[in-house]
Amino acid sequence: MSDEEVQALVARGVLRRVQPDGEAARRELATAERHLATAARIADDDEIAALAVAYEAARKAIASHMRANGLRIGGGEGAHARIGAYALAAFDDPILAENFHAFDRVRQLRNRSQYDAFSVEEADVVFALEQARAIVAAVEADLE
Amino acid sequence: MRTRPPFLLPLFRSDGQARLLARVYLGSDRPAPLAELAQELDLDRGGVTREADRLEAAGLVKSERVGRQRILRPNETSPYYGDLHGLLLTAFGPAALIGPALREVPGIEHAFLFGSWAARYAGVPGSEPADIDVLLVGSPDRTAVYRVARELAPLLSREVNPIIVSRERWDDAGEGFIREVKSAPLLELDLDSDENLVGAR
């Protein structure tokens, strides 16, 4: 974990310090895992829902990592985008960085599909699931 | 010649001048005779010649004669070269750089710029584009496309946001988002040749 970058995000108000809560973090991570399974199960029937749930799996996994490390998103707009910024700072790993950048693309796809009458394709769901699986696994490994 | 100032950067005297300068400065690896530039940029031949004369007299470009043809190149010894190149890159770079960068990704049938950047480029007034919207038709590898977009962002000083739609979705036009994109200004990027600064429609 790159403490320096996380500190910088706290200093800028992107994140704020709270009491670490390992129990809540474990529960949130378990929810993320269930989301992964759900997204894979519905992928063939409902691409838009599957993509949204895969995105939620990744988001909750990152949020659980924050919770375990005593951090929350600060106030203001763009909370979801800030989660990606936290993940990039917290996991100082070039391969995972690709997944976190991809997480942001999935976020944009999800937003378009939710608000812009934009359809989602099977390839988008496959991509989203790949990223979500990698992110959930990385958080699990780090919190073990 | 497009005589109004370009909405993307109204520091230039005309849209035609800006397009010509952008093509010469940002496409210096694929120089073309004036007649071809006029056609490529959707500008009239006489206007391009007059503009070329003006820019050459100011020392911003230099001409090279190949037979009867006149080829323009940026004048890299001009004291304005570095700053001007930077301005042109930030303002007009998407039309020049994104197409060539996407050529390395297989599976893209068509590439378009849409959204606020394409609208300003086409002469629709509005606020400064916050990012560059790119629509790709086909089935390229998502990871490869997103990587190219990320590499382009610092060069263009804006985020590049590609979205990918299959050929079926693009042709079907029943989808609200695609109908909206098609009804607004679009700039198609040429993925097959070296010409990318094509006229907007």
DSSP state string for B134-162:
EEEEE---HHHHHHHHHHHHHHHTSEEEE
Do residues B116 and B126 lie in contact, with contact meaning Cβ atoms separated by under 8 Å?
yes
Does A123 contact B163 at a Cβ distance shorter than 8 Å? no
Residue A63, C-beta contacts closer than 8 angstroms, at least 6 positions apart: A28, A83
Query: What number is the ipTM of this complex?
Result: 0.86
Distance from CA of B105 to the nearest CA of A (A): 16
Residue B113, C-beta contacts closer than 8 angstroms, at least 6 positions apart: B94, B95, B98, B121, B132, B133, B134, B135, B186, B187, B189
Task: Characterize B104-116 residue by residue with b for buried, 16 or more Cβ atoms within 10 angstroms of its Cβ, and e for exposed.
Answer: ebeebebbbbbbb
Distance from CA of B178 to the nearest CA of A (A): 8
The per-residue pLDDT for range B123-179, each reduced to its tens digit, is: 899 999 999 999 999 999 999 999 999 999 999 999 999 999 999 999 987 889 999
Q: Does B201 score more than 50 pLDDT?
A: no
Taking contacts as CB-CB distances below 8 angstroms, the residues of chain B near A54 are none
Does B176 contact A112 at a Cβ distance shorter than 8 Å? no
Q: What is the pLDDT of residue B196?
A: 43
The per-residue pLDDT for range A12-64, each reduced to its tens digit, is: 888 899 999 999 999 999 999 999 999 999 999 999 999 999 999 999 999 99
Q: What is the pLDDT of residue A1?
A: 54
Q: What is the pLDDT of residue B54?
A: 95
Q: What is the pLDDT of residue B198?
A: 41
Distance (Å, whole) CA A12 – CA B169: 42
Q: What is the pLDDT of residue A131?
A: 96
Q: What is the pLDDT of residue A5?
A: 83
The per-residue pLDDT for range B93-108, each reduced to its tens digit, is: 999 999 999 999 999 9
Does B164 contact A123 at a Cβ distance shorter than 8 Å? yes
Q: Which residue of B has its CA nearest to A114?
A: B177
Distance (Å, whole) CA A141 – CA B67: 68
Quote the strand ranges of B50-168, DSSP E: 61-66, 69-74, 108-114, 131-138, 159-165
Per cent of chain A over pLDDT 90 is 71
Does A124 contact B139 at a Cβ distance shorter than 8 Å? no
- Using DSSP's 3-state secondary structure scheme, residue A40 falls into helix
- More confidently predicted of A130 and A89: A130
Mean pLDDT of chain A: 92
Q: What is the pLDDT of residue B193?
A: 62
Q: What is the pLDDT of residue B52?
A: 95
Helical pair B15-26 and B34-41, crossing angle rounded to 10 deg: 120
Does A116 contact B164 at a Cβ distance shorter than 8 Å? no
- CA B128 to chain centroid, in Å, comes to 16
Does A127 contact B150 at a Cβ distance shorter than 8 Å? no
The per-residue pLDDT for range B165-177, each reduced to its tens digit, is: 999 999 987 889 9
Return residues 2-31 of A near B (CB < 8 Å). none
Taking contacts as CB-CB distances below 8 angstroms, the residues of chain A near B161 are 108
Do residues B162 and A127 lie in contact, with contact meaning Cβ atoms separated by under 8 Å?
no
> Can you give the pTM of this predicted structure?
0.87
Q: What is the pLDDT of residue B1?
A: 60
Q: Exposed/middle/buried for B151, CB within 10 Å: 0-12, 13-18, 19+?
A: exposed
CA distances from B136 to A71, A118, B78, B116 (A): 38, 14, 38, 17
Which residue type does B2 have? R
Per cent of chain B over pLDDT 90 is 78
Q: What is the pLDDT of residue A3?
A: 77
Per cent of chain A over pLDDT 70 is 99
Does A121 contact B143 at a Cβ distance shorter than 8 Å? no
Q: Exposed/middle/buried for A118, CB within 10 Å: 0-12, 13-18, 19+?
A: buried
Mean pLDDT, rounded, for A88-104: 91
Quote the strand ranges of chain A, DSSP E: 15-17, 71-73
Return residues 126-165 of B near A (CB < 8 Å). 139, 142-143, 146-147, 150, 161, 163-165
Q: Does A2 score more than 90 pLDDT?
A: no
